[in-house]
A and B are shown apart, each in its own frame.
Chain A
């Protein structure tokens, strides 16, 4: 359904999925079975609608077909029914009172991002049950066989069932912690999509757009949460640079060298407004700080006009609030821009990185960059080459090797 370019039209249909699923679970219980039934209805729609035309009420159609599938499934499998009765059922606690669908959407997200699941499982299930992607589409997005993705999703649902989760909002005391997990999953989806540089774009769903859409939805439902607003702002502010991020040949263009006229001004304005509002009205958090940093980059007319001292201040705050090697690496770059490359290198010397962990090349590439700034071209070239060997990202390797080659060429030049 995406290969012929009708993705946008279909997106409207996918938007109905959490709604349909919410109604079905409230009526029949058993999240896992209902989710399968909705998925089957969605697949049926993708086959039938292009031929027979779109029904007057897509939502009613999906609900009817999903309910029928669910009934068939239950009739045909009595053994399962017995097991079901024994199991703790994922039924709604209430007597089928139709709750507002905002609650359903949020409940679904909490369920899909259940802490008993691994991040990849949370992401896969969220894409199917909340974003309404088919298993085949999710498999394409992750470049794995459909059977693998189907298993990943079914295992995730089994885990949720085993954990005894119910289709109800978590108690208020747990809600903010659970919301953090939801935000992590959405950020993971965003990065997954953002970093997928090439490949048959038409065939691969745009996970970045999905993540932004879902973050927007969560922000609409929980507008008072500053970190939700912060994450949405961060996504918008980073995604705004996408058109300038790769050259015509697909190579990475670093922030400082990007053609800023290509940046999406509308997205930047929205992101800036969101983060400004949340910084002044809600409790500060890591996503808001990262969004504020992204906003400073996006608002600088040229790379040289970037307000680095403000960025240093924000990174220092972020490091206190959410310490980690990545934050320190980024701060090292910012410190170098304000206090000179040696300040950055001194800070790097305090970071201990296990050479084998993924992301170790980030340390090497930052160090190479700072050495280059310091004018130590030989060391810098070597550091770029080493970082290129450490990364498992193809575009990053190309970029780092190009940097090394550029340095070596300038070394040779008189």
Chain B
């Protein structure tokens, strides 16, 4: 079963963090990702660039337009996401709890849609 683990943040809670603490958070995250990779559970883990770099692509009658991220005023932004493939939701919860961000902002779990279905 695949799950997406999302970590949201805002400018305040990341820049307010003392550098040593932030480094610790990064170290713990790296260690967790390594552990998940070795267990064969990691599909991918990505940090998301600052919303300053966000763009929105729209296709309309006038063709394709690209605008800078329109949500600049939004406080919370997607900071990173991890996709895991594990045995159960319980395991996904366990993995989320291992993420150091769970101690700060929390980790959101979203089951990923799949092509499978039960016999009807």
Contact = CB atoms under 8 A, between A and B. Distances in A.
Interface string B93-104: 000000000000
A144 B111 contact: no
A313 to B, nearest CB: 20
A197 B87 contact: no
A119 interface: yes
Task: Sort chain A's interface into a size bin.
Answer: 35 or more
Nearest to B110: A392
Interface in A23-58: none
Given A118-B87, A392-B112, A151 B119 contact: no
A156 B39 CA distance: 9
Chain B's interface size range is: 20 to 34
A195 B38 CA distance: 28
Contacts of A145: 43-44
Contacts of A399: 117, 120
A142 B2 CA distance: 10
Contacts of B105: none
Contacts, number: 86
Contact of B117 (A118, A121, A197): A197
A392 B113 contact: yes
Interface stretch (A9-17, A75-83, A99-107, A354-362): A354-362
A396 B116 CA distance: 8
Nearest to A142: B85
Nearest to B88: A358
A392 B111 contact: yes
Contacts of B113: 392-394, 397
A220 interface: no
Given A120-B85, A197-B115, A393-B116, 12 more contacts: A144-B43, A148-B41, A192-B116, A195-B116, A195-B118, A196-B115, A196-B116, A197-B116, A358-B88, A392-B111, A393-B114, A395-B117
The 5 closest A-B pairs by CB, nearest first: A152-B40, A195-B116, A151-B40, A396-B117, A393-B117
Interface of A: 118-121, 124, 142-145, 147-156, 192, 194-199, 238, 252, 254-255, 356-359, 362, 391-397, 399
8 contacts: A147-B37, A148-B43, A195-B115, A195-B118, A196-B116, A197-B116, A394-B117, A396-B118
